[in-house]
Structure 1
Amino acid sequence: MHQPLLPWALWLWAGLSLTACSIQTPPSGDAAARVERELISHTLRIDAGEQLVLTSPHRTIRVTEQLLHQVTEFDAKDQVVNRLESYQALPWASQPINLIADGKRFSLQTDHDGLLRLNLLSEQFIELDFQSLRVIQLIARAGPSIVAEQNLLVSRELRSILREAVNLVHDNLEESDVEQWIYRINRLDTLGLEEESNQLENMLMMLTIGDPELQTEFLQALENSERP
């Protein structure tokens, strides 16, 4: 006749059963799988658009970094199981770009998207001799042998615009009167430089904010002028 198990015996049997179920044999193998990446090529590319002759002071330029890796995958026994090439077209983000013009070197920088927004009417270029300016050179450098260059020609029409516009944009405003302000705003519009015209107008609004009478005179003259 079998006797029923005592409560403590039941608990002991259950504990042994659970322990046995939780124990697993560790996997065999000498090492975990791994991946090796070998850099095959590293280049930079400057994309200034299809038209390489500048007819406007503005040009958006894209700079990209191109990386080609050979990727090798190994199994746990360190045997090659796969080999492939991995190609990346990355933006050259927040990186320096050198611009050479008229024998002078300028340091520019791309934004977080790898874009360089060139403006030949920005303040750093006002000392250039636009009459003789024929070409500008852009240089991106990631290392001694990793260099990209791009030349942009400056059209005759643009040289003429730059020679006149640089004074319209940068001459001292406080030494001019309202009539001259209006002329400069309208003339920039006539030259096709709407961005600079609007910036000058906004700058004059800020300049006259402390003189309501002068600001009213400026606004009335602006309203009465015939803008293109």
Structure 2
Amino acid sequence: MTSNDTGRRRPPQGEVDFTFMYAGHDAFNRDLRRLSTAIRAGRAGDPAVRTGWETFKHQLHIHHTVEDEALWPPLRAKVRRPTEVGLLDAMEAEHALIDPLLSQVDAALAVGDAAGPAASADELAATLAAHMEHEEAEALPLVETYLGAEGWQAFGAAIRKRQGLKGAAEFLPWLLDDASAELTRRVLGELPMPARLLYRARWQPAYARTPRWNAATA
């Protein structure tokens, strides 16, 4: 078993390299911890917190939309057992739980009462973490079995197409914000050289110039 930056344990890498998926899940958990910390410190209305929250929502929307459009349908076309079909039904149902919780946090933040945003953020964090753990434990092994490396690469291509060059300028620095040196090395190592150069010379510095969450919430 291998561990990630957050201390959760994951299966050893097989034929399919899920580094980007795990890194994305860690980034979502990271941002929700930062949100909770900011709310409890009375900083929910800070512009940096709101910017961090908007970035989180944007990345989560892309992540789940591309899964729903380009990962679960080809996997559903190949699974064979009723339990596997049921698992994919569960993935879609769990996705459907998230948007109302995002709206709930938005509404609570607008009101500004610390108790409301804290409870809403906690519910979102627990629901999203449970979904991601379920996905890692049961859905990703199905991806490896039925779609393999080629199918996973097709999913990655769909995300890159949805993000575009402009989206990548936010996505990669967001993904690697506060990541370990080892994870950063692994993620950047999967990119073509021009993208690595853009990340270091332009994307990461530009991302860092826009306050998100603030160091106090890290």
Please give the TM-score of this superposition, normalised by the length of structure 2: 0.24
Per chain length, whose mean CA-contact separation is higher, i.e. which structure has more relative contact order (CA < 8 Å, sep 6+)? Answer: 2
Please give the TM-score of this superposition, normalised by the length of structure 1: 0.23
If you compute each CA radius of gyration, which structure gives the higher value, 1 or 2?
Answer: 1
Please identify which structure carries the higher strand content: 1
